[in-house]
Amino acid sequence: MNETLRIQQSHRSIRSYKPDPVSDAILDQIIAAAHRAPTSMNAQEISLIVVRDAEKRARIAELSGGQMRVAQAPVFIVIAIDFHKTDLGVRKAGQTQIIHESMEGFGVAAVDAGIALGTLITAAESLGLGIVPIGSIRRNPQDMIALLGLPPLTFPLVGLCIGHIKDDMPLKPRMDIKTFRHDERYDASGYGTTCCLDFYTTILEWAEWSLVPQFARLPELFKGCLTTSVHQQQIRISVLVWIFDELSPRHFDEAHGE
């Protein structure tokens, strides 16, 4: 196994960081990796906002519902959907941009944001740094937008803490590879019996913020498809409960063995 695969296969999210700064040179390299990552049709509709200012990170931690790792890790990178840049180009060409009104636009940009995030993660981990993705920046999007000075047609989708590892973490369990990888055709025949839906229980709380507030900005961005949904949705708590089967110590040993 090469070093890149070894790094990727030992991924675990880090919740505790040293105060030591990440150097400019290191950060430049990590961001250069994401800058080179592919986007659909090379549209480059992603922007990163790199936050190192301690006060600003503390504010983001607060806006994210008390995610204190954001305040603790020296670097926080916001990955934003950015149809502002594309709109400038489209206007310059005398055309009217419509991609930001469609689900296709949101889906494409969210996938590309994920590719950028996945690239940042592997890049940072290759340098021995710890990371943890933060989705709860969507909890108070209007305040996040104001804090980061984001223009119209952008949306702060997800964030990433980067820093030097203080306390390392064990690898979190994954369901059996059979629930993840399907060959030629989806095969759920083993689910719930030989596979992993009964044994290990994790309760995932999609809290109240998971529906309306963080998408207050989205109608502007994707007005065609979302204005209705925001009105329709009630603030609810959805509890996703995972009951894994046969998640034996073997799984943990294998994971830690990487």
Among residues 20, 66, 167, 177, which is the contact residue for its own copies, using CB under 8 A?
A: 177
Fill in the per-residue mask, 181 to 220: x = in contact with its own copies (CB under 8 A), - = not in contact. xxxxxxxx--xx----xx--xx-x-x---xx--xx--x--
Residue 5 interacts with its own copies (CB under 8 A)? yes
Token match 């996703």: residue? 240
CB of 91 to its own copies, least distance (A): 9
Best CA proximity match to 125, nearest among 30, 48, 25, 23: 30
Best CA proximity match to 44, nearest among 2, 89, 92: 89
Per the CB < 8 A criterion, the answer to whether 70 and 76 are in contact is yes
Count the site residues for its own copies by CB under 8 A.
125
Token match 């994920």: residue? 114
In the region spanning residues 57 to 76, those forming contacts with its own copies, defined by CB under 8 A, are none
How many Å separate Cα 198 from the centre of its chain? 27
CB of 27 to its own copies, least distance (A): 9
Gap between the Cα atoms of 100 and 48, Å rounded: 18
Distances (CA, A) of 231 to 12, 215, 227, 228: 38, 11, 7, 5
Fill in the per-residue mask, 223 to 252: x = in contact with its own copies (CB under 8 A), - = not in contact. -xxx-xx--xx--x-xxxxxxx--------
Among residues 68, 164, 174, 216, which is the contact residue for its own copies, using CB under 8 A?
A: 174
H/E element, 163: strand 154-163
Residue 54 interacts with its own copies (CB under 8 A)? no
Output the DSSP codes for 129-152.
Answer: -EEEEEGGGGSSHHHHHHHHTPPT
Segment interacting with its own copies, rule: CB under 8 A, options 15-23, 65-73, 161-169, 175-183: 175-183
In the region spanning residues 99 to 128, those forming contacts with its own copies, defined by CB under 8 A, are 99, 102-104, 106-108, 110-119, 121-123, 126-127
Tell me the backbone φ, ψ of residue 67, rounded to 5 degrees. -80, 85
CB of 62 to its own copies, least distance (A): 17
CB of 80 to its own copies, least distance (A): 8
Gap between the Cα atoms of 73 and 165, Å rounded: 9
Closest to its own copies by CB, 72 vs 222, is 222
Residue 86 interacts with its own copies (CB under 8 A)? yes
